[in-house]
Structure 1
Amino acid sequence: MMTRRWHFSPLLLVLSGGAIMGLALGIRHVQGLFLLPLTTAHAWTRADFAFALALQNLVWGIAQPFTGMVADRFGSRRVIFAGCLLYGAGLYAMARATTPGEFALSAGLVIGVALSCTSFGAIYGALSRMLPPERRAWGLALAGAAGGLGQFVSVPAAQNALAALGAQGALVLLAVAISCLCVFALPLHDAPPVGGAVSAAADPRPNAPQSMRATLRAAAGHRDLWMLGIGFLACGFQLAFIATHLPAYLLDKGLDGRSAMAALAIIAMANVAGTYVCGLLGAKLSKPKLLAGLYLVRSAAIALFVLVPLSEATLYAFAFVMGLLWLGTVPLTTGIVSRIFGVQYLSTLFGFVFLGHQIGSFLGVWLGGVMFDATQSYDAVWLCAIAVGIGAAALHWPIREQPAPIMLRAQMA
């Protein structure tokens, strides 16, 4: 039985996906602003707060392959729609939490699953299947830029909500906003027709359908995919540590909350341009080499930031450089996965690669809280952020952008 499907312009698809991803990541981006208000109000330690957000990142990574499988099998629209509502429920539960355990359950478990439904894997997977190949790099780049803009808007919005409503009121307001955004999932109807995996509209030369089991078996033994996932750990470590602990680090060093908010806003604004440019460059240059260079520049920027005397000028320069490189890794990594294994099971395969990113996020957030409580300093974690970036560059450099043998056989069929 045929079901009616509305056709939307590529721009509308990209902006719809970008809006959802922007607010989902934007809320995650500003969670560090809640560290001191919530720990002070409830007499929690920074390690209590950090564990909840570390758990969020780990659950996000573990859930991503499974929500990706659901999206690949039944379509991304249902997953994204449900994810927005689940995100809202998690934020409301965060506002009502009174113990570290309740906070970990809501901020860690519930929002971790919600992020797997509303962020990179689901959005980029849907767009990769719905956009024609010649517009795919543009679409992923623009969606990433729209997501970055959402992060930028979230910073002053969250800060103003905190000032006007307090931490609990601000969380409830964010819960309402992300829940209402579920309507933007409706155009993202990428469910494959019966008997086919990729429509001709999405690819003029669709590959022969292949089973998910055979694809996963091939992916499990693919060296470059493993290197991509292990290298992605550095991205998660660096970004999650900075987003969560930078506001507290700056306050410890004598700067005020306004400086922290401005730094997060600069990161988010620079990310708009950086993600878009990285996505476009990935269509013309070697994506593994671009990723290697990106991680090296990140590590250099972190090293300079912790070595030179801290001031508002050095903080804003650091935020700008990091923002340019913030999420540019994602369209490049997605592009490598789709180049190796196609787009049929992209949400699933990206989910497994993304697990490495989220293990790094868990370690960056959790170690930040643990090391600070133990030493009253973040210095050791900054050094770890530099080291993992250098290691990621070494891992990405030899990766090859070549279709896997299973893809070559499918193309010949």
Structure 2
Amino acid sequence: MTQRPASHAAGALPTGSPPWWRTAWFLLLAGGLVMGLALGARHVQGLFMLPIITDRGWTRETFAFAMAVQNLTWGLAQPFTGMVADRFGSARVMLAGLSLYAVGLFLMAQAATPAAFVWSAGLCVGVALSGTTFGVVYGALSRMIAPAQRSRALGLAGAMGGIGQFLLVPGAQVMILQAGWRGALVILAVTAAAMLPLALPFQDRTHPASGAGAGGAQPPLLGAVREAFRHSGFWLLNLGFLACGFQLAFIANHLPAYLRDKGMQPSEGMAALAIIALANIAGTYWFGVLGGRHSRKYLLAGIYLVRTAAMALFVLLPLSAATLYGFAAVMGFLWLGTVPLTSGIVSQVFGVRYITTLFGFVFFGHQLGSFLGVWLGGVVFEATRSYDLVWMGAMALGVVAAALHWPIDDREIVRAGWPQPQR
């Protein structure tokens, strides 16, 4: 794994051999740890649902609405945090994101009303996620890692983030049992604050001329956004990513409660989330590698079809430990493999100069789906006392997403009057 030479970098990278804390491997480790905490704390939110609503006397819909606001806020904020990262550097955005994450988790533990819970879990944590996860971390790595290894690097960073998710599942369950749900949230807040130094190596601030390819200047930011908005494939990616967000957010937030409704133990729900996180480590890395060798759009279509088949079998077959853990393993392997592939298509078509901003707009589609998946899960359950309609909706969206990715034009844009995008 090599770092991108300074003469070809999109940011102000140092010449010669970088210090150890700016090497490609340390950047991957730091980015993976930050994403592992951010995504891991989000991944275990389903474990907090029943303890919180039981203690507060709330409904599942109340909890689900706060999580839905979190996902929507994350999606709305992502393009703007991406713009800030592209203009002022990813380190500043990650520092702000980790700080806000710590504050949001602490306030979640103190929230005594639904409004306060929405403010802390929904708005604060939602904005924090936009500065500590895929959009910013993958954007920084795309600029700072050599192009030939970029797809593999994104897969590695995602896999490292998956390790954090895997470790946080049993960790959060133990913390809830030993310290209560409030104490567990405070511990997570302190952990987020302790991660702040890991943001410092991502000094990838760009300069007006640094986005140039061999032929000269890249289009300005607003021009790049307009260019993307006129590209049909950009909108197909958005719509397809909506299905991904719907499926993952629904499962992560409602699966533990769904299993309790079916008579299974809390430990089995925890184990399912842990298996998802563990399988995600291998899946994210593997799809990152495959994305450097094969068509990313066809890989994405395949992921959505296999996910749909896995959900159908899980719902139709008799529920047992074997079917649960098999479902968790398959879904986990496919869990976040969509992210390096989707980010890879964006950089493949539009270049890396404004990758953080452009991926932020695509990611909004994902988070709109997450909002709907979490919120409708709560609404439908309170109305019908069942999740069946939501499972069917998740499966239908998977089929639609596969169909949408097939016709995407993923060829590099040929610009009139502008050089080709920096690879």
Instruction: Please indicate the TM-score interval, normalised by the length of the shorter structure.
Output: over 0.9
CA-to-partner distance for each residue in 1:364-405, whole Å, 9 max, x for gaps? 000000000001000000000100000000000111221123
> Does 1:123 find its partner at 2:137?
yes
The one-character-per-residue Cα deviations of 1:85-113 (angstroms, maximum 9, x if unpaired) are 10000000000000001000100000000
Partner of 2:228: 219
355, 365, 369: which one aligns with 2:374: 365
SS at match of 2:419: helix
Aligned 8 A contact 1:215 1:406 in 2: no
Distance 1:4 1:350, change over 3 A: closer
- Paired amino acid for 1:26: G
The separation in 2 between residues aligned to 1:269 and 1:253, in whole angstroms, is: 24
Matched, 1:173 2:187: yes
- Residue 412 of structure 1 deviates from its aligned partner by 9.5
Match of residue 120, structure 2, among 106, 109, 130: 106
Q: How large is the RMSD of aligned CA atoms in angstroms?
A: 1.6
Task: Give structure 1 stretches of 5+ with no counterpart.
Answer: none
1:376 corresponds to which of 385, 396, 421:
385
- Match of 2:243, as an amino acid? A
The 5 Å alignment of 1:80-229 reads 80-193=94-207, 195-197=209-211, 205=214, 208-229=217-238
Pairwise CA distance, 1:410: 1.5
1:341–1:407 CA contact under 8 A, matched in 2: no
Say whether 1:46 aligns with 2:32.
Answer: no
Shift of 1:328: 0.1
Aligned ranges for residues 255-404 of structure 1 at < 5 Å? 255-404=264-413
Please report how far the alpha carbon of residue 4 of structure 1 lies from its aligned counterpart in structure 2 after TM superposition: 9.4
Which residues of 2 match residues 52-71 of structure 1 at below 5 A?
Answer: 52-71=66-85
Question: Are the structure 2 counterparts of residues 207 and 266 from structure 1 closer, same or farther at C-alpha, using a change threshold of 3 Å?
Answer: farther
TM-superposed deviation, 1:408: 8.4
Classify 1:206/1:165 alpha carbon distance in 2 versus 1 (closer, same or farther; 3 Å): farther
Distance 1:75 1:116 in 2: 14
Deviation of the 1:167 alpha carbon = 0.5
Give a deviation string over 1:23-42, Cα, whole Å, max 9, x none: 10000000000000000000
1:254 matched residue in structure 2? 263
Matched ranges for 1:1-12 at <5 A = 7=19, 8-12=22-26
Give the stretch that moved more between structures: 377-386 or 205-214: 205-214
* Paired residues, number: 406
| CA distance 1:188–1:412, shift in 2 (3 Å) | closer
Q: Does residue 35 of the first structure (1) align with residue 49 of the second (2)?
A: yes
For 1:11 and 1:85, locate their aligned partners in 2 and report how far apart those are by CA, in whole Å.
Answer: 24
Q: Distance in 2 between matches of 1:52 and 1:145?
A: 28
1:188 Cα deviation (Å)?
A: 1.1
Relative to structure 1, is the Cα distance of residues 302 and 4 closer, same or farther in structure 2, using a 3 angstrom cutoff?
closer
407 and 51 in structure 1: CA distance in 2 versus 1, 3 angstrom threshold: farther
Quick check: 1:342–1:407 contact (8 Å CA) kept in 2? no
| Deviation (angstroms), 1:197 | 2.5
Corresponding residue to 2:31 among 17, 21, 25: 17
CA distance 1:147–1:412, shift in 2 (3 Å): closer
For 1:331, the aligned partner's letter is P
Change in CA separation of 1:407 and 1:57 when aligned onto 2, cut-off 3 Å: farther
Conservation of the 8 A alpha-carbon contact between 2:279 and 2:333: yes
Q: Which 4+ runs in 1 deviate beyond 6 A?
A: none
Cα distance in 1 for residues equivalent to 2:174 and 2:222? 49
Relative to structure 2, which stretch is displaced further, 253-262 or 187-196? Answer: 187-196
Is 1:73 aligned to residue 82 of structure 2?
Answer: no
Contact 1:70 1:79 in 2 (8 A): yes
